[in-house]
Structure 1
Amino acid sequence: MADTSPVSLARQLLAILGRDRKRLLRIDDYLHGRHDDPYMPAMADEEYRLLAKRAISNWTPLLINTPAQTRYVDGYRAGDDSGQGSATNLSSPQWEHWQRSRLDARQTAIYKGALAYGHSFTLTERVKGAVLTKGLSALRTAALYEDPANDDTPYAALSVTAWPYSESAGTARMWDGTHEYAVSFLSLDDEEGVKLAAGKRHGASECPVTRFAASVDLEGRTVGVVEPMVPLQNRINQTIFDLLLAQSYGSTKVRTVTGMAPPVQRDPETGEVVYDEQGNPIPLPINHNAKRFLFAEDPDVKFGSLDETPLGGFIDSIDMSIRHLSAVAQVPPHHLLGQIANLSAEALQAAETALSRKIQEFRTLFGEAWERVFRFAAELGGAAGVDDFKGEVIWRDMEQRSLAQAADALGKLREQLGIPAKGLWKRVPNVTQTELDEWDDLADEEDSVGQLATALTRATPQTDATADEVPAAA
Structure 2
Amino acid sequence: MADPAPTSLAVQLLAILGRDKDRLARIDNYFHGRHDDPYMPAMADDEYRLLAKRAISNWTPLLVNTPAQALYVDGYRAGDDRVKGSATDLASPQWEHWQRSRLDARQSAVYKGALIFGHSFALTERVKGAVLTKGLSALRTAALYEDPANDDTPYAALTVTAWPSAEGAGTARMWDGRFEYAVRFKSLDDADSVKVSKGKRHGASECPVTRFAASVDLEGRTVGVVEPMIPLQNRINQTVFDLLLAQSYGSTKVRTVTGMAPPVQRDPETGEVVYDEQGNPIPLPINHNAKRFLFAEDPDTKFGSLDETPLGGFIDSIDMSIRHLSAIAQVPPHAMLGQIANLSAEALQAAEISLSRMIQEFRTGFGESWERVFRVAAELEGAGGADDFKGEVIWRDMEQRSLAQSADALGKLREQLGIPAKGLWKRVPGVTQTELDEWDDLADEEDAVGQLASALTRATAEPEPVTADSVAVAA
TM-score (norm 2): 0.96
Q: 1:262: Cα distance to partner?
A: 1.0
Matched residue, 2:471: none
CA RMSD, aligned part only?
1.5
Q: What amino acid is the match of 1:426? A: K
Deviation, structure 1 residue 282:
1.9
- Alpha-carbon distance in 1 for matches of 2:414, 2:175: 51
Q: Cα offset for 1:302?
A: 1.5
2:243 equivalent to 1:231 = no
**1:452 and 2:452 correspond:** yes
Give aligned pairs, total: 466
Report the counterpart of residue 434 of structure 2 in structure 1. Answer: 434
Q: Structure 1: how far apart are the matches of 2:227 and 2:163?
A: 25
TM superposition shift of 1:461:
3.6
The TM-score, its normalising length taken from structure 1, stands at 0.96
Partner of 2:299: 299
* Structure 2 CA distance for partners of 1:83 and 1:221, relative to 1, 3 Å: farther
Are residue 67 (structure 1) and residue 67 (structure 2) matched?
A: yes
Distance 2:374 2:105 in 1: 17
Alignment partner, residue 105 of structure 2: 105
SS of equivalent to 2:131: strand
For the 8 Å contact 1:155–1:207, the answer to whether it is kept is yes
Q: Say whether the 8 Å CA contact 1:88–1:95 is kept in structure 2.
A: no
Paired residue for 1:31?
31
Deviates more, 1:147-156 or 1:285-294: 285-294
> 2: CA distance between counterparts of 1:353 and 1:330?
9
- 2:20 matches 1:7: no
Give the drift of 1:295: 2.1
- CA contact under 8 A between 2:75 and 2:90: conserved in structure 1? no
Match of residue 469 from structure 2: none
Contact 1:414–1:420 (8 Å) recurs in 2: yes
Which letter does structure 2 place at the counterpart of 1:232?
L
CA spacing shift, 1:336–1:2, aligned 2, 3 Å = farther
- Structure 2 runs not aligned, ≥5 long: 467-475
Give the drift of 1:267.
Answer: 3.0
**Deviation at residue 279 of structure 1 after TM alignment:** 2.3
| 1:257 to 1:131, Cα distance in 2 relative to 1, 3 A | same
Counterparts of 2:54 and 2:42, CA distance in 1: 18
Is the 8 Å Cα contact of residues 37 and 53 (structure 1) preserved in structure 2?
A: yes
Q: In structure 2, what residue type is equivalent to 1:365?
A: G
Unaligned stretches of 5+ residues in structure 1: 467-474
Whether 1:96 and 2:96 are equivalent positions in the alignment is yes
Distance in 1, matches of 2:334 and 2:461, equals 69
Partner letter of residue 354 of structure 1?
A: S
Task: Report what 1:362 is aligned to.
Answer: 362
1:337 paired to 2:349: no
Assess if the C-alpha contact under 8 Å between 2:257 and 2:302 holds in 1.
yes
Partner AA of 1:440 in structure 2: D
Query: Structure 1 stretch 70-79 or stretch 264-273: which is displaced more?
Result: 264-273
- Cα distance in 1 for partners of 2:27, 2:2 equals 32
Are 2:432 and 1:406 aligned? Answer: no
- Following superposition, the deviation at residue 141 of structure 1 comes to 0.2
Please name the residue that 1:470 is paired with. none
The aligned counterpart of 1:212 is 212
Q: Which moved more, 1:262-271 or 1:327-336?
A: 262-271
The percent of aligned pairs where both chains have the same amino acid is: 87
Q: Distance in 2 between matches of 1:91 and 1:69?
A: 26
Q: CA deviation at 1:167?
A: 4.1
Q: Secondary structure at the match of 2:78?
A: strand
Equivalent AA in structure 2 for residue 223 of structure 1? V
Q: Spell out, residue by residue over 1:431-450, the C-alpha distance to the aligned partner (whole angstroms, 9 max, x if none).
A: 11111111111111111111
Aligned runs of 1:120-135 on 2, under 5 Å?
120-135=120-135
- Secondary structure of the 2:203 match is coil
2:285 corresponding residue in structure 1? 285
Is residue 181–residue 196 contact of structure 1 (8 Å, CA) maintained in 2?
yes
Asked whether the 8 Å contact 1:83–1:390 carries over to 2, the reply is: no
> Which residue in 2 is equivalent to 1:118?
118
SS in 2 for 1:79: coil
Deviation at 1:273?
Answer: 1.4
Residue type of the alignment partner of 1:254: V
Q: In structure 2, what is the Cα distance between the partners aligned to 1:109 and 1:359?
A: 16
1:86 alignment partner, SS class: coil
- Find the residue that maps to 2:161 and give its secondary structure: strand
Rounded to whole Å, the distance in 2 between the matches of 1:148 and 1:276 is: 76
Q: Partners in 2 of 1:373 and 1:285 — Cα distance?
A: 77
Query: CA–CA distance in 2 between the matches of 1:154 and 1:326?
Result: 35
* Structure 1 residues 162 and 153: CA distance shift in structure 2, 3 A: same
Aligned to 2:160: 160
